[in-house]
Amino acid sequence: MHGTVGNSKFTQSILDIVNLIDGKSPLQDSLFEEASVFFENQETDQKRLTTLDTEIQRLTKAVQSSNKKTASLSTDALKKAKLKFKKEKDLQEQERLKRLRRVSEIGEKIIRLSESEDWEKTQTSSARMLGTLHLLCPTEGFKVLQTKQRFKPAYKSILAMRLLDKLLDKNQIDSSYISARYDSNARYTDARTELTPFQIDVAIPIITAAIFQDIGLLHPKAQEILKGRDGKRDEYAVLDKETRIELLKTNYKYTLEYVKYGLGMEQYVGNSKPERAEFIAKEEQKLKLTVDLLVGAQKPKNGIGNLIKIPQIYASFIFSAKPDQTLFDLPKAGLLITKAAKQSSLSELAVDSLLKILGHFPQGYGVTYIAENPDGTKSDSFEYAIVVELNPENIFEPVCRIATKNLTFVGNGSTMVIPAKRNLYYPEPRKQLERIDPERLKLILKKLVSNYEERKDLELIPSHWDPHTFFQYEKLQNLWKN
């Protein structure tokens, strides 16, 4: 098609984020692997500390014994027990801090990739990251459902941040903590400078909540519900109501437990009592924000929980684990969250805000549209385009990068708004092409889809197309160029 298959530097950086969050490695150092290890060892680690503490209490009483020999022997044993307890406590604390700092590092990477020096450039950066995540994620093949789940956390976190900005702009954030730290003139930073206080104190806690929203599903109890005791049950099978409720409760319980105790707060280093008190208070507020988001997402209505709940529902539809969902269904994600808002499950204002950001066509979605003749009249052909911009003027008319011109794939297509009257996703424009000779339509498809096995299953007038293969070519990955 265009050069060789490969990843640009930016595309690789997005894949790296996906793997840093939910990758598999011998070191077990992705965020989700670290959470799994924590859950697996949590009970044993706690028992170890409890046993040592019990021994310290026993020896403390023995030291106070009237028997001098017993007291003398116990004194030495007590020192050793306390030292052993401290070493174990310190070891567990260092592991916790290591996990927490990894979260902060990855949160910063997401911010650097999805935000820029001002609002306008941030929209482009976020569109690029959202689109890249969507285009990289396969739609078929080996373990495709598992792969989709790995792309969701980063996607959700970006949606949460763009929704946050939109609601802040409307002065519609129900959080004194966030509002007190928001300054529109100091909201963003460029790649050469440190993160702003807002990005550190607000953005990273929100990103943390979005990433770990369902981390409790990795707890052994949740895994048993999903996969059965023998681990052979299909984890994506539909659960009955009672089992699903049990799973939701388990997920919620252990998600909060992990965020509070598996991650917790940063550690103060220094000797100043006032600085220490200020530092701890600040860390407590950041942790509280993450916890409040997770708690609020259970029944968000008009509260702060909408910041992560709406992106969760939207992203779960885009990266659905349902095997029967198709690419045609993806633009219905907006309808799904709109329906939830009308049922009072979500904030209508927040849902409307996210739809205005995204439109009805997800970033990276493959649009097919009726081409125009040089004189502006509709032709008897169609072309391919890819959604590349946020904040469309009309949520039903996406801003796209042209992917084909005269039925030939191009790497330097212009940007254009695809009018609803020419967008083949909608029934009326498709009807307009039905008058064309089917042989002519087959010829068009032959030029656009070289693989016969793929082409034979396509509609003669396709409502959409899959740009996943197109995006595998490095030269075609810079869809967001000026």
pLDDT digits (tens, 9 = 90+) for 247-298: 999 999 999 999 999 999 999 999 999 999 999 999 999 999 999 999 999 9
pLDDT reading at 122 higher than 90: yes
Tell me the backbone φ, ψ of residue 457, rounded to 5 degrees: -95, 0
165 falls in which pLDDT band (50, 70, 90)?
A: very high
* pLDDT at residue 452, as a whole number: 47
Cβ–Cβ contacts within 10 Å for residue 9, how many?
A: 8
pLDDT reading at 323 higher than 90: no
End-to-end CA distance of the chain: 23
Enter the tokens of residue 99: 């996990």
For the chain, helix, strand, coil in percent to 5 are: 60, 5, 35
pLDDT reading at 446 higher than 90: no
pLDDT reading at 392 higher than 60: yes
CA 385, CA 399: separation in Å to the nearest integer?
9
pLDDT (average), residues 317-328: 90
Cβ–Cβ contacts within 10 Å for residue 69, how many?
A: 8
pLDDT reading at 2 higher than 90: no
* pLDDT at residue 324, as a whole number: 83
pLDDT (average), residues 382-405: 97
Percent of the chain at pLDDT above 70? 96
Single pTM value for the model: 0.94
188 falls in which pLDDT band (50, 70, 90)?
A: very high
User: Is 39 within 8 Å of 223 (Cβ atoms)?
Assistant: no
Please tell me the least confidently modeled range out of 157-171, 246-260, 288-302, 426-440: 426-440
* pLDDT at residue 304, as a whole number: 95
* pLDDT at residue 191, as a whole number: 76
User: Is 128 within 8 Å of 10 (Cβ atoms)?
Assistant: yes
pLDDT (average), residues 470-476: 92
93 falls in which pLDDT band (50, 70, 90)?
A: very high
Contacts of 434 (CB under 8 A, 6+ apart): 461
* pLDDT at residue 447, as a whole number: 84
Tens-place pLDDT, residues 11-59: 999 999 999 999 998 889 999 999 999 999 999 999 999 999 999 998 8
* pLDDT, the chain, mean: 92
* pLDDT at residue 60, as a whole number: 87
What single-letter DSSP state applies at residue 331? G
